[in-house]
């Protein structure tokens, strides 16, 4: 079995009709229920549920507090290479974009690691563009070996790998995996990924499952909001997370909801996801899966991020750069996307404290 | 006369003469329709009781259904 | 649309299972079966007492009921398996309630041995209904082992304390794709109804009926409670409303 089969169950579902048949009573009932099912989750993403966003916020806040406490986990990404063989219409690293391509040497990786680690951060997310030539598995493993000296938890966000390759990374010290399907709508996916291995929708959608089987402790998935109707994309993200959690009970599943930001290239998002929509998605996830982690990236504005502390988000990035290097190395290459919240780690710490929450730098240590 | 030693429902019992299982049950005054017999850890079907001659150290459990939750 | 409970390929006419222990007399049992509507009746296997006139309880149980012998007395999987095989050889069908208890203080079941016994007996073609302490991991393993249902306790046997394990039972109902039958500890018809409202497939009651002042009447009460609880579950209860209009809404920052 693969999540793809679950996707097929809902691929031709009439989302509009479903939303139009919802009643206020039904929505209120769902918000108050202790455990909700897939369609009830879908109803929370509807325009009708939008009317009850304050109730959803209250419940989301309560559940997040119960299951996570007054904490926010902090991490930062490190881009070690931006070589890419794919032609993804919406991405700054698109092979047809004329940008400076760069790959860090291992010494440079160490320089970056040292600076990042000095800010207190202990959880790092390692990213590369998709290029088996430039960012080979061996190169990634070498980077991990260096990062292990400075960080207690290393996650990777790279191109889809084979299960054995994920196992190798787990053995090398990687405990977390992030992969965004970008867009779950298979047709739209085909239109946005013009060339390159990333064109293979199935291979990508099954990657999180391969990571779970390989023993990754945390698995983070998501869709890039804006590429297709956000209600559907959030829905598929949610049931994908549920599928993984049910099948791999010992993995820690989390979701991200990156919203499209201006980037290099002429692509404009098909759908606008406004702040209220965005927040509704967070609440719907929290009510559907009370223990799922929800990550908020620096794509979002500072004030907006501030307001979301305590409402459902459990993990935030800080002091981010989406350029290759970008912390120690001064040679600027273009970032994958423009960052909105450019605050450094100290400032994010202060923000979190000001909300009565505790920033957590180190969640665990692999021994 | 040879004495036979067998275990019947957990108790050591001496038998004075060679008997079949059926004869033993009759001796003990048991109504044979309602019981189940386990003979040396195997279920013994009713038809076999008449033809099973008891041997030294046989283990016999005579059971019935009772109320239970 | 029909709401039917099917276990081991058999459609059951009642969601109340009845235990036959602790009754003042066996003769009253057929009347309790009638008043309660129960269709699955549990019995136990014991050694006969050579010195007294033992009765065969089977003659008090109507032919159209399903007999479910239990493996009470078994302290481990091997003993449970042995009892199960004896029971089946006695010719009363292949249903078996696995009850493995080596705790004489509380009569709590041994989940680990229960899993082992289930594995063996399911492979031998028994319709296995294991009695267990509500634990999700155990329930999953029981399902994988081939159990036809899972029977978590509501409270320790004989205590009549009701659905003390409510939260854990609810998790089993939500997560395990098998009939969940709450067995043991239900002391009042309202507690049986509660279990059914929660979504249990059925309940098994013994002590509360057998030791009441009027078992026939209490049997009827339990039968009605199970019907009521099931109907309530199917009807979908109204929302319990938990939220208020806040003066400083959490979503005020959205501006809308």
- Report the alpha-carbon distance of residue A49 to residue C251 in Å, rounded: 14
Q: Among C38, C19, C39, C32, which Cα is nearest to C183's? A: C19
Domain made up of C5-235: CATH architecture:
Alpha-Beta Barrel (3.20)
Residue B68 lies in a domain: no
Interchain proximity C253–A307, CB inside 8 Å: yes
Measure CB to CB from residue C250 to each of A32, A61, A275 and give the nearest one.
A61
Q: Among A114, A89, A52, which Cα is nearest to A191's? A: A89
H-helix or E-strand spanning residue C117: helix C111-123
**Residue A176: strand pairing partners:** A155, A218
Give domain limits for chain C: 5-235
pLDDT for C108 equals 93
Looking at the 3D structure of chain B, how many domains does it have? 1
Q: How far is A23 from chain C (nearest CA, A)?
A: 13
pLDDT for A59 equals 95
C251 CB within 8 Å of a chain A CB: yes
pLDDT for C256 equals 55
In A148-198, which residue ranges form alpha helices assigned H by DSSP? Answer: 163-172, 186-192
Residue B35 lies in a domain: yes
- Among C44, C46, C48, which would you mutate to test the B interface (most chain B Cβ atoms within 10 Å of its Cβ)? C48
Question: Are the CB atoms for A348 and A359 separated by under 8 Å?
Answer: yes
What distance, in Å, lies between the first and last C-alpha atoms of chain B? 47
H-helix or E-strand spanning residue A64: helix A53-68
Q: What is the SS3 assignment for A334?
A: coil
What distance, in Å, lies between the first and last C-alpha atoms of chain C? 45
With 60 as the cut, is the pLDDT of residue C1 above it? no
pLDDT for C234 equals 93
Q: Which chain C residues contact residue A305 at CB under 8 A?
A: none
Residues of chain A whose pLDDT is less than 70? 262-266, 329-332
Our answer to whether residue C105 is catalytic in this structure is: no
Q: Which chain B residues contact residue C85 at CB under 8 A?
A: 43
Q: How far is B13 from chain C (nearest CA, A)?
A: 13
Please, which pLDDT band fits residue B2 given cuts at 50, 70 and 90? low
- Average pLDDT of span C180-194: 96
Torsion of CA A225, A227, A229, A231, to 10 degrees: -20
Looking at chain C, which residue has its C-alpha nearest residue A25?
C239
Residue B69 lies in a domain: no
Question: What's the domain range around B37?
Answer: 3-63
Residue B37 lies in a domain: yes
Q: Assign residue B37 the CATH number of its domain.
A: 3.10.20.30
- Among C135, C175, C197, C253, which would you mutate to test the A interface (most chain A Cβ atoms within 10 Å of its Cβ)? C253
Question: Are the CB atoms for C30 and C62 separated by under 8 Å?
Answer: yes
Measure CB to CB from residue A57 to each of C239, C241, C250 and give the nearest one.
C250
- Average pLDDT of span C75-103: 92
Give the predicted TM-score (pTM) of the model: 0.82
Task: List for chain C the helix, strand, coil content (%; round to 5).
Answer: 40, 15, 45
Residue B13 lies in a domain: yes
Interchain proximity B65–C45, CB inside 8 Å: yes
pLDDT for C51 equals 74
The chains found to touch B (3+ Cβ pairs under 8 angstroms) are C
pLDDT for C250 equals 87
C241 CB within 8 Å of a chain B CB: no
Interchain proximity C254–A311, CB inside 8 Å: no
Interchain proximity A29–C250, CB inside 8 Å: no
- Report the alpha-carbon distance of residue A234 to residue C57 in Å, rounded: 60
Interchain proximity C56–B10, CB inside 8 Å: no
pLDDT for B1 equals 55
Residue B12 lies in a domain: yes
- Both structure tokens of A181: 């399907």
Q: How far is A282 from chain C (nearest CA, A)?
A: 12
Measure CB to CB from residue C251 to each of A28, A29, A279 and give the nearest one.
A279
Q: How far is B50 from chain C (nearest CA, A)?
A: 17
DSSP 8-state code for residue C252: G
pLDDT for C239 equals 63
HSE-CB of C199 using CA atoms within 13 angstroms = 16
Q: Tell me if there are at least 3 CB pairs under 8 Å linking chains B and A.
A: no
3-state secondary structure A79-139: EEECCCCCEECCCCCCCCCCCCCCECCHHHHHHHHHHHHHCCCCEEEEEECCCCCCCCHHH
Interchain proximity C86–B63, CB inside 8 Å: yes
- Both structure tokens of A104: 């860090």
- Report the alpha-carbon distance of residue A298 to residue A296 in Å, rounded: 7
Return residues 161-200 of C near A (CB < 8 Å): 174
pLDDT single digits (tens) B53-63: 898 999 999 99
Residue B7 lies in a domain: yes
- Both structure tokens of A270: 């098909």
Question: Are the CB atoms for C107 and C100 separated by under 8 Å?
Answer: no
With 90 as the cut, is the pLDDT of residue C58 above it? no
Q: What is the SS3 assignment for A185?
A: coil
The residue ranking higher by pLDDT, B18 or C231, is: C231
Residue B50 lies in a domain: yes
The residue ranking higher by pLDDT, A133 or C16, is: C16
Interchain proximity B67–C54, CB inside 8 Å: no
Interchain proximity B69–C54, CB inside 8 Å: no
C50 CB within 8 Å of a chain B CB: yes
Residue among C22, C34, C59, C97 flagged as catalytic: C97
pLDDT for A217 equals 92
Q: How far is C26 from chain B (nearest CA, A)?
A: 8
Q: Among A142, A149, A147, A134, which Cα is nearest to A168's? A: A142
Q: How far is C73 from chain B (nearest CA, A)?
A: 11
DSSP 8-state code for residue A66: H
Return residues 36-55 of B near C (CB < 8 Å): 36, 38, 41, 43, 45
Interchain proximity C86–B36, CB inside 8 Å: yes
Interchain proximity B68–C92, CB inside 8 Å: no
Angle CA C193–C196–C197, to nearest 5: 85
The residue ranking higher by pLDDT, C254 or C173, is: C173
The chains found to touch A (3+ Cβ pairs under 8 angstroms) are C
């Amino acid at each position: 079995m693969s999540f793809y089969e679950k996707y097929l169950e809902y691929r031709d579902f009439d989302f509009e009709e479903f939303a139009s048949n919802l009643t206020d009573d039904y929505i209120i009932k769902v918000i108050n229920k202790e455990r909700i099912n897939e369609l009830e989750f879908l109803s929370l993403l509807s325009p009708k549920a939008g009317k009850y966003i304050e109730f959803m916020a209250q419940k989301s806040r309560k559940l997040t507090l119960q299951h996570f406490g007054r904490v926010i986990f902090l991490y930062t990404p490190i881009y070690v290479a931006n070589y890419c063989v794919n032609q993804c219409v919406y991405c700054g690293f698109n092979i047809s974009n004329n940008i400076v391509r760069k790959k860090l040497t291992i010494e440079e990786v160490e320089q970056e690691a040292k600076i990042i680690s000095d800010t207190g951060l202990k959880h790092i997310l390692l990213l590369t563009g998709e290029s088996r030539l430039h960012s080979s598995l061996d190169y990634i493993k070498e980077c991990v070996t260096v990062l292990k000296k400075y960080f207690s938890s290393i996650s990777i966000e790279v191109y889809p790998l084979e299960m054995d390759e994920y196992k190798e990374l787990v053995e090398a010290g990687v405990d977390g995996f992030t992969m965004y399907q970008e867009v779950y709508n298979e047709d739209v996916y085909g239109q946005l990924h013009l060339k390159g291995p990333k064109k293979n929708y199935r291979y990508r959608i099954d990657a999180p499952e391969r990571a779970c089987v390989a023993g990754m402790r945390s698995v983070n998935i998501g869709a890039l909001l804006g590429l297709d109707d956000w209600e559907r994309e959030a829905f598929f993200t949610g049931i994908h997370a549920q599928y993984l959690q049910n099948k791999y009970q010992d993995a820690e599943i989390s979701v991200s909801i990156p919203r499209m930001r201006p980037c290099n290239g002429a692509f404009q998002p098909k759908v606008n996801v406004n702040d209220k929509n965005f927040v509704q998605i967070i609440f719907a996830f929290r009510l559907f899966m009370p223990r799922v982690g929800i990550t908020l990236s620096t794509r979002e504005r500072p004030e907006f991020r501030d307001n979301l502390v305590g409402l459902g988000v459990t993990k935030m990035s800080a002091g981010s750069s989406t350029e290759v290097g970008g912390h120690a190395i001064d040679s600027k290459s273009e970032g994958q996307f423009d960052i909105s919240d450019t605050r450094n780690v100290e400032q994010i710490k202060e923000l979190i404290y000001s909300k009565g929450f505790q920033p957590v730098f180190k969640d665990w240590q692999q021994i | 006369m040879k004495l036979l030693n067998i275990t019947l429902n957990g108790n050591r019992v001496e038998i004075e003469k060679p008997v079949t299982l059926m004869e033993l049950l009759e001796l003990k005054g048991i109504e044979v329709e309602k019981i189940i017999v386990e003979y040396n850890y195997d279920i013994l079907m009713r038809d076999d009781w008449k033809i099973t001659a008891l041997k030294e150290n046989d283990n016999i459990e005579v059971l019935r259904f009772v109320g239970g939750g | 649309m029909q709401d039917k409970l099917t276990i081991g390929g058999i459609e059951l006419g009642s969601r109340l299972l009845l235990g036959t222990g602790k009754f003042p007399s066996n003769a009253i049992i057929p009347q309790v079966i009638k008043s309660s509507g129960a269709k699955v009746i549990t019995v136990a296997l014991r050694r006969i007492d050579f010195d007294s006139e033992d009765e065969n309880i089977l003659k008090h149980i109507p032919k159209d009921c399903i007999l479910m012998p239990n493996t009470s007395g078994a302290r481990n999987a091997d003993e449970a398996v042995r009892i199960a095989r004896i029971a089946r050889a006695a010719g009363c069908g292949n249903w078996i309630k696995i009850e493995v208890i080596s705790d004489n203080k509380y009569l709590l079941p041994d989940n680990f041995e229960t899993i082992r016994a289930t594995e063996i007996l399911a492979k031998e073609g028994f319709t296995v209904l294991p009695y267990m302490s509500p634990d999700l991991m155990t329930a999953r393993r029981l399902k994988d082992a081939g159990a036809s249902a899972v029977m978590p306790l509501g409270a320790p046997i004989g205590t009549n304390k009701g659905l003390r394990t409510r939260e854990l039972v609810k998790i089993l109902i939500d997560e395990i794709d098998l009939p969940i039958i709450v067995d043991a500890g239900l002391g009042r018809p309202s507690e049986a109804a509660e279990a059914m409202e929660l979504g249990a497939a059925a309940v098994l009651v013994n002590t509360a009926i057998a030791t009441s002042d009027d078992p026939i009447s209490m049997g009827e009460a339990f039968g009605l409670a199970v019907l009521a609880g099931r109907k309530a579950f199917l009807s979908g209860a109204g929302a319990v409303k938990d939220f208020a209009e806040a003066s400083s809404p959490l979503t005020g920052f959205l501006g809308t």
